[in-house]
A and B are shown apart, each in its own frame.
Chain A
Amino acid sequence: MTGPDVTGGPGPQGPQKGGKKRAFGHTVINLAHGSGGKATHSLVESVFLDAFANPILAPLNDGAVVSVAGRPVAFTTDSFVVSPIFFPGGCLGDLAVNGTVNDLAACGAQPLALSAGFVIEEGFAVADLERVVAAMAAAANAAGVPIVTGDTKVVERGKGDGCYVNTSGIGLVDERAVSISGAAARPGDRVIVSGPIGDHGTAVMLARGTLGITADIVSDTAALNGLVNVLLEAAGAAVHVLRDATRGGVATVLNEVAAASGVAVVLEETALPVRPEVAGVCELLGLDPLYVACEGRMVVVVAPEAAEAALGAMRAHPVGTGSVIIGEVVPEPAGLVLQNTGFGGARVVDMLVGDPLPRIC
């Protein structure tokens, strides 16, 4: 395939690339800066990236890979501020462990050790803290990684939302995964997602209890290191990109990959795995499941000749039974994600500015 029949439109052509410093243009941080979309990128690029400038940080992958005694070691950190703390399918605790394990897995690394930092608000119930910690222990056990160090801070009432958890992790990069990077997608590659999308974000939205909607939806929070292991067994170096689709959903991850790799991604709407309950809630709220967070889904970009083997291996793993191919990498228009719609049209799947805003009518 030589790419879709597209020509550049009259508008701008996708996200800007390159590390040129741009003025941030905001005097205070607002919530959109934490959404994982364009506003977050603008914050990272104009405030953090320049200040911390170094070649290991620059690719902005899910984790960094540093060389330790000549061996590639993945290193990542993530903070978890979910509200409510307990939701169907999980809680702050398993989310904090799985999130960091998955960031390591997305670097092609098996986790070696995690840290855990707690910021606890005065008045937080010890029973709740114990539930969170028990969930962390169980999740770490399931992922086969110890939590080896930690820190605790207590802030005054009103200065925190119950409990925040930060986890960091290190892992040894699998030798078959050393070239995995968000910049490694090539035209012809297939795009696989490891199961139904949007479950976590929808479950948490409903758990907040403000929508008056009840549905049988549970978070997909799960450790994906085992899945990545069988994937690498099956497809090895043919695996070009691994991304953990969290905040901003599959659409945001693929936009990052398209921009970093200088390629386009074409999705088939009819191939997207969305549970009927999730599709229904999203329809009601005017949200697009492509932008809704997952916490146990890997987006895999794999060379075409290895796609079937990769898919077969993923489907045989307990957390990858719902794996499907959802699209293909094409050369043009570089930096964009496009979608053939079920209705027979096509559209751009852009990165959102901030959180998806529910539409009023």
Chain B
Amino acid sequence: MRFVDEFRDRDKAVALAVRIAELCTPGRHYKIMEICGGHTHTIYKHGLEHHLPPGVELVHGPGCPVCVIPMGRVDDAISIARTPGVTMACFGDMLRVPGSQGSFLDAKASGADVRVVYSPMDALQLAVDEPGRQVVFMAIGFETTAPSTALTLLRAKAMGVPNFSVFCNHVTIIPPLRAILDAADVDLDGFIGPGHVSAVIGCRPYEPIAREYAKPVAVAGFEPLDVLEAVYLVVRQLAEGRAEVENQYSRVVTWDGNPRAVEVIAATMEPRPHFEWRGLGSIPWSALSLRPEFATFDAEKRFDVPGVRVADPRACQCGEVLRGRIRPWECRVFGTACTPEKPIGTCMVSSEGACAAYYNFGRVNLKRPLARART
């Protein structure tokens, strides 16, 4: 496939792996966090870790939008979905995310009208097509998906669609990074920055992170060679004693991002003083809510939302996985009580979640490459 195959080239990967190995100091352990769930998925889907020297470890960060949604918010959303006359529209990977009383899939099975959409615009269209129903869009995601929610809100307002609202769970990328770095027991060496988020916000917002915490950041695309090259950039910075922001994904990401996208977010949403993150606890100013001008489209105002804070299940160690403290399989319930079939923690739900990715793609410890199948 054009524009894809060239970023999955095995020979280029092997050559890049040699250069990474040359930069590594023998005996030193490198811990690099890929922030974005899309990167985690790429790493496992393509078996990227086979190309890394033994001293380089990739840690899977908090950038999977469904993984960081706390149970209380899922419960709130399900409570809205169960309201008579409501159609809840959500992205597909929200369906199995567990709340304290089950998931959207369970709510749907017991009568709630939950529908999968690919875009918030599809949800708005549902509201237009079915004026007798209250259509609520379950908005999740970082700055990547926030602009499409914002544009949909602007459109809904311009069209005056009375039966459409948004349950806003958008989050922002910089506050959780600071929360992770501010924790006492962090030993990360650098970051692979999220490509799609950065297409919106640009590379500039990471500069204080690189400077204040002395951690290299390489913003990367989502093909395996992109991620491998970002590892190379981070290791090279470490070898040269630099801590800067570098842009591996220059074919998509500019230094200043997409000002129009940032503008529509700011026009429709504002930072929330507090938002609970799955596993990471409450992080101030880390999420977005609708601006007062859009209050009529705010599902939190339109419906009775219980707003109960639900503690993460005690056995679940999602938080430690998201902070890079433990590897997925080191969690006490990984693969036993918590599986993709019956997830306890959200990291096990989405294919971008560290635990699900590891469970689905990597749970056999492939120490050496497999012998080639004879085909």
Q: Does any Cβ of B come within 8 Å of A280's Cβ? A: yes
Q: Does any Cβ of A come within 8 Å of B252's Cβ? A: no
Q: Does any Cβ of B come within 8 Å of A5's Cβ? A: yes
Report the Cα distance A26→B106, complex, angstroms.
9
Q: Does any Cβ of A come within 8 Å of B309's Cβ? A: no
Q: Does any Cβ of B come within 8 Å of A240's Cβ? A: no
Report the Cα distance A190→B14, complex, angstroms.
28
Q: Does any Cβ of B come within 8 Å of A215's Cβ? A: no
Report the Cα distance A3→B371, complex, angstroms.
7
**What total count of A-B pairs have CB within 8 Å?**
195
Interface residues of A in 38-68 (CB under 8 A from B): 38-39, 42
Are A347 and B375 closer than 8 Å at their CB atoms?
Answer: no
Known contacts: A30-B108, A32-B105, A345-B50. The answer to whether A5 contacts B364 by CB under 8 A is no
Are B359 and A357 closer than 8 Å at their CB atoms?
Answer: no
Report the Cα distance A39→B341, complex, angstroms.
7
Interface residues of B in 57-95 (CB under 8 A from A): 65-66, 91-93, 95
When distances are taken between beta carbons in the complex, the residues of chain A under 8 Å from B50 are 344-346
Known contacts: A10-B365, A360-B141, A361-B144. The answer to whether A348 contacts B360 by CB under 8 A is yes
When distances are taken between beta carbons in the complex, the residues of chain B under 8 Å from A3 are 371
Report the Cα distance A42→B342, complex, angstroms.
11
Known contacts: A8-B364, A10-B365, A348-B362. The answer to whether A338 contacts B109 by CB under 8 A is no
Would you give the shortest CB distance from A31 to chain B, in whole angstroms? 7
From B38, B45, B359, A341 is in contact (CB under 8 Å) with B45
Are B14 and A344 closer than 8 Å at their CB atoms?
Answer: yes
Q: Does any Cβ of A come within 8 Å of B314's Cβ? A: no
When distances are taken between beta carbons in the complex, the residues of chain B under 8 Å from A38 are 340-341
A-B contact list, 22 entries, CB within 8 Å:
A5-B368, A5-B369, A5-B371, A6-B367, A11-B334, A11-B359, A28-B106, A283-B1, A327-B373, A328-B373, A340-B47, A343-B10, A343-B224, A344-B47, A345-B48, A345-B49, A347-B44, A347-B361, A350-B360, A357-B93, A360-B66, A361-B145
- Which residues of A are interface residues toward B (Cβ below 8 A)? 1, 3-13, 25-26, 28-32, 38-39, 42, 190, 210-211, 266-268, 271, 276, 279-280, 283, 286, 288, 304, 324-328, 330, 333, 336, 338, 340-348, 350, 353-354, 357-361
Give me 10 other A-B pairs in contact (C-beta within 8 A), A328-B375, A353-B341 excluded.
A7-B365, A325-B375, A333-B364, A343-B13, A345-B366, A347-B361, A347-B366, A357-B92, A357-B93, A361-B196
